[in-house]
Amino acid sequence: MNPVMSPDRQRPIVSTLIAGALGGLIVLVLGAVLIATDVIDTGDTQTIRQQAPISQPASDPGATDGGRTVQEIYREEGRGVAFIQAEGVSESSVFGQQEGTATGSGFVVDDEGTIVTNAHVVDGAEKVTVSFEEDGESIDAEVKGVDPDSDIAVLKIDPGQVEDLVVLPLGDSSQLEVGDPVVAIGSPFGLQRTATTGIVSALQRQIDAPSGFSISNVIQTDASINPGNSGGPLLDAQGRVIGINSQIATGGGEGSVGIGFAVPIDTAKKLLPELRAGQDIERAYLGVRMATVTEDLAADLDLARDSGALIERVEDGGPAEGAGLRASETNELTGEVTEPGDLIVAADGQPVRTADDIVAAVAAKQPGDTIELEVYSGDDRRTVQVELDERPEELDITP
């Protein structure tokens, strides 16, 4: 199984997916390389950082459920997809560290010139421009808000500088089902307004955000996405945006293998008002890494319950450490658990069956709120009150 690698330094980094926005860390080894789909020009050479693919299905996405044809979607919604260039991008995260000009994609969401893209495309940029036509005029864009925890950014342009500005309709990602047809439009390798098609391959995936935390409820697709597609729309058969193309898994190689990931549009819709206003997104933080308990894991570790969230790591200085929650002890050589940590079985009186339940419970809180956790320490059950903190800007992923 291949570890997650930094595309720039090519060294192993933590291969766990961290429960984003929520303070909890869920251990889920992906065994694939996740890399950003933008192109960064660093001078004499180009470093390509990939992040999300879309393959052609046998049938047309418009062929079912009264959907539109790809041609119709491309002709109409394609005009609202922007090619983005961000100069002076400097990034230091799980996606590596580079400085130069990043390229990506974005899409218009209102008639005031608001454009949504990926945070990793524009975060830290000195200057951002967008264009809507091949060899078209470059328009200055202001970065209004960036949220590295969801990998979403909002730009603002003067709508008067665009003739016939096209606003893309936003769909409902909660209604998606595996097998639904999708269309991606973006600028892979700088080839503006390129359309590719595929299906929804899976739902409720998790991917690492630039901050080191994880993004939940991610859409997996086989639609072909390449460097430069980052931030572009994933559309349903009606031409509605249901996701923001963000990453690909490469299986340890250097190219796409047909496994792409898009941040759900429902996540973006919740954040849009604050990002438009240039406000920081505040999230509650618990400060643990957890694993979902299965019957086999419970039997192997002789746990008190066969479901719940097992604490594998407690972050230094975090709320969980302050509340006395205990992490698992492991053999440094083998990684084998020698003493299980606390097992969380309830949060605020609600049963906890998986680590995702804790992620959701913390996500519903604000910094400063208190969460009540019922935990097993061995066979002893106790209740712990934890005052949640504000999530740090970046997660320390050093094992």
Query: What's the rounded Cα separation, in Å, for the pair 273 and 266?
Result: 13
Instruction: Find the helix or strand (DSSP H, E) in which 121 lies.
Output: helix 119-122
Of 123, 149, 151, 236, the catalytic one is: 151
Of 15, 55, 93, 120, the catalytic one is: 120
Write out the E strands in 240-342. Answer: 241-249, 259-264, 284-285, 288-292, 309-314, 329-330, 337-339
Q: Are 200 and 178 in contact (CB under 8 A)?
A: yes
151 is catalytic: yes
CA distances for 129 relative to 14, 145, 234, 240, angstroms: 34, 15, 22, 25
Give the count of alpha carbons within 13 A of 387, CB side only: 3
Of 105, 201, 230, 256, the catalytic one is: 230
Query: What's the rounded Cα separation, in Å, for the pair 30 and 45?
Result: 30
Residue 89 CB partners (closer than 8 Å, separation 6+)? 40, 98, 99, 100, 101, 102, 121, 122, 123, 124, 125
Tokens of 333: 């050589």
220 alpha carbon, distance to own chain's centre: 11
87 backbone dihedrals φ, ψ, rounded to 5° = -90, 140
Helices (H), 200-315: 265-276, 295-301
Q: Taking Cα atoms as reference points, which of 263, 264, 255 lies closest to residue 224? A: 255
Tokens of 165: 């500005």
Please give the positions annotated as active site.
120, 151, 230
